[in-house]
């Protein structure tokens, strides 16, 4: 039996099975309804009791641990680990994961727009097509998400329309159930997983695959958005495989520009080494021009009102990030590790500097408060007493001069004597003495002010 056909056979029934909506799991998530079935279990729409208003709806994916093989259990844990480390607008947001009875549960954000495959089928049945501007917007969003994953050495390995979700007209990549974390820049995975319609020639021939295999799958998704059908079709599995491995590269119909068709052909090149990386595609003149056009249209439509400026800044930051990303990808693993360490050290130094500045400002503020309190506590009677005691002040000043004259003018040569000398010096510079001197100065200044009045 073929791998992609027997996937459903291994799906074990999860033990949660909420009998009705309202059942609660983990004393937090209330079941609303069942959304469908994934690679290893069921998917439910749940309501989070602890979430903020308007953010209650989430998706809970349950995986029956008892029915999984050891390697499949590892894959479920790996999916949760990968999602927890990915934070990007084009990637499904991970909330938490936990074990409930014999089920491993993963909670992610809810995309009310459904998946891209359903949207494609909806347009196909109604006889409509996606506007070219919309296709390019979605394609660039997916490119940004794939580039983000690949820069972190993560392969998706099952990128298809069903695993791309829609929320507020934005696409989000999800279902990392067969993702692979690369251990080297040129690592090749060899497991036969994924949907055949989106699988690359090297994966079908068991030659392994790397990031360029995700680029092939993304090219298939691009063709499907443009033509509302699979790039490679057939009546049987073997016919699909033959078209992918030996067939001609499909071309886009006439309404689409030649630049987009050339890009698609490069992504569907039989040789993975000749396929462009996601970061390289984002730097192509045609894609960069589309980004600029999209930015200009948004700026004109919003008239630089509230919200327009942040969008513009975000787009510019994307372009700068892509340029920096291309430079990083040219580095060796050792150079990347050194760069990460330098960046981490710079970030730590920046935080320490900020903390020091905050502490310094707090200390200044505290001293000002102490001075204000000492001034407010002085009564008129105390001021008069201070005014009538000039002789005592002179005597105290004389005693201070005597003390100062009694101190040695030079540092003693004897170690023990020098240690006592330093100890006395440090004790005289304590914070308490400074505060006392400040209080005396404040009282003296107030007495002078009273005399002038």
Number of domains in the chain: 2
Question: pTM for this structure?
Answer: 0.62
238, 239, 240, 268, 363 from 235: Cα distances, Å: 8, 7, 8, 21, 78
CA distance 162 to 212: 20
- 324 within some domain: no
Range of the domain at 54: 15-109
The CATH number given to whatever domain includes residue 275 is: 1.10.510.10
pLDDT greater than 80 at residue 450:
no
- Point out the residues that are catalytic: 158
Q: Of 224, 294, 287, 292, give the one whose Cα is nearest residue 257.
A: 287
* Among 8-22, 38-52, 126-140, 376-390, the range of highest mean pLDDT: 126-140
Summarize the confidence of residues 356-369 as an average pLDDT.
82
- State whether 199 and 234 are in the same domain: yes
- 250 within some domain: yes
Q: Give the residue from 282, 307, 331 where a domain finishes.
A: 282
Summarize the confidence of residues 364-368 as an average pLDDT.
83
Place of tokens 């021009």: 289
- State whether 133 and 103 are in the same domain: no
At 147 the pLDDT is 94
Q: Give the residue from 85, 109, 133 where a domain finishes.
A: 109
86, 105, 108, 330 from 95: Cα distances, Å: 11, 11, 5, 33
- State whether 266 and 120 are in the same domain: yes
Place of tokens 């443009």: 226
What is the crossing angle of helices 211-227 and 132-151, to 10°? 170
Q: Give the residue from 282, 314, 334 where a domain finishes.
A: 282
At 394 the pLDDT is 46
- State whether 275 and 219 are in the same domain: yes
CA distance 221 to 164: 10
- State whether 123 and 169 are in the same domain: yes
Percent of the chain with pLDDT over 90: 36
* Out of 52-61, 121-130, 413-422, least confident range: 413-422
The CATH number given to whatever domain includes residue 80 is: 3.30.200.20
* Among 12-21, 60-69, 129-138, 148-157, the range of highest mean pLDDT: 129-138
pLDDT tens digits along 411-445: 555 656 655 655 555 555 444 555 555 555 556 66
Q: Name the burial class of residue 7, with classes exposed (0-12), middle (13-18) and buried (19+) by CB atoms within 10 angstroms of its CB.
A: middle
pLDDT tens digits along 155-210: 888 899 999 999 998 999 998 754 544 434 444 554 444 568 999 999 999 888 78
- State whether 255 and 195 are in the same domain: yes
pLDDT greater than 50 at residue 329:
yes
- 192 within some domain: yes
- State whether 233 and 131 are in the same domain: yes
- State whether 79 and 95 are in the same domain: yes
- State whether 86 and 171 are in the same domain: no
- State whether 127 and 96 are in the same domain: no
- 184 within some domain: yes
- 359 within some domain: no
φ and ψ of 345, to 5 deg = -65, -40
- State whether 88 and 125 are in the same domain: no
- 244 within some domain: yes
At 44 the pLDDT is 94
- 375 within some domain: no
- State whether 66 and 93 are in the same domain: yes
Percent of the chain with pLDDT over 70: 60
- 127 within some domain: yes
CB atoms within 10 A of CB 371: 15
- Give bridge partners of residue 155 from the DSSP assignment: 180
Place of tokens 């069921």: 42
pLDDT tens digits along 132-169: 999 999 999 999 999 999 998 888 888 999 999 999 98
Q: Of 172, 225, 217, give the one whose Cα is nearest residue 195.
A: 217
């Amino acid at each position: 039996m073929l791998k992609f056909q027997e996937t459903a056979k291994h799906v074990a029934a999860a033990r949660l099975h909420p009998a009705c909506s309202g059942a609660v799991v983990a004393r937090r998530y209330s079941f609303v309804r069942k959304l469908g079935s994934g690679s290893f279990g069921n998917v439910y729409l749940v309501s989070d009791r602890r979430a903020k208003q308007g953010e209650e709806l989430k998706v809970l994916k349950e995986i029956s641990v008892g029915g999984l093989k050891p390697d499949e259990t590892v894959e479920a844990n790996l999916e949760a680990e990968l999602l927890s480390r990915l934070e990007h607008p084009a990637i499904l947001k991970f909330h938490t994961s936990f074990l409930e009875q014999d089920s491993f549960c993963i909670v992610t954000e809810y995309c009310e727009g459904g998946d891209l495959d359903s949207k494609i089928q909806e347009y196909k049945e109604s006889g409509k097509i996606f506007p070219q501007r919309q296709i390019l917007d979605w394609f660039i969003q997916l490119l940004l998400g794939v580039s983000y994953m690949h820069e972190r050495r993560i392969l998706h390995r099952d990128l298809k329309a069903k695993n791309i979700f829609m929320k507020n007209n934005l696409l989000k990549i999800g279902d990392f159930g067969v993702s692979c974390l690369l251990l080297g820049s040129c690592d090749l995975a060899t497991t036969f997983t994924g949907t055949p319609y989106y699988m690359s020639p090297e994966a079908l021939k068991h030659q392994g695959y790397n990031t360029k295999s995700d680029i092939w799958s993304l090219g298939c998704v691009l063709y499907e958005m443009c033509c509302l059908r699979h790039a490679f079709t057939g009546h049987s599995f073997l016919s699909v495989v033959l078209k992918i491995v030996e067939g001609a590269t499909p071309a886009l119909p006439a309404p689409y520009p030649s630049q987009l068709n050339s890009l698609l052909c490069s992504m569907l090149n039989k040789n993975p080494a000749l396929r462009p990386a996601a970061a390289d595609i984002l730097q192509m003149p045609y894609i960069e021009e589309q980004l600029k056009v999209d930015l200009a249209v948004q700026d004109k439509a919003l008239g630089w009102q509230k919200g327009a400026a942040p969008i513009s800044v975000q787009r510019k930051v994307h372009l700068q990030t892509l340029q920096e990303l291309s430079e990083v990808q040219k580095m060796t693993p050792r150079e990347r590790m050194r760069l990460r360490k330098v960046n981490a050290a710079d970030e730590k130094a920046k935080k320490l500097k900020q903390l020091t500045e905050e502490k310094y400002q707090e200390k200044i503020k505290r001293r000002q408060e102490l001075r204000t309190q000492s001034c407010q506590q002085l009564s008129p009677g105390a001021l008069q007493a201070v005014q009538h005691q000039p002789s005592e002040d002179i005597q105290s000043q004389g005693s201070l001069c005597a003390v100062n004259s009694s101190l040695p003018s030079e540092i003693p040569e004897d170690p023990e004597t020098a240690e006592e000398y330093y100890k006395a010096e440090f004790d005289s510079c304590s914070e308490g003495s400074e505060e006392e001197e400040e209080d005396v100065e404040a009282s003296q200044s107030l007495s002078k002010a009273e005399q002038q009045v």
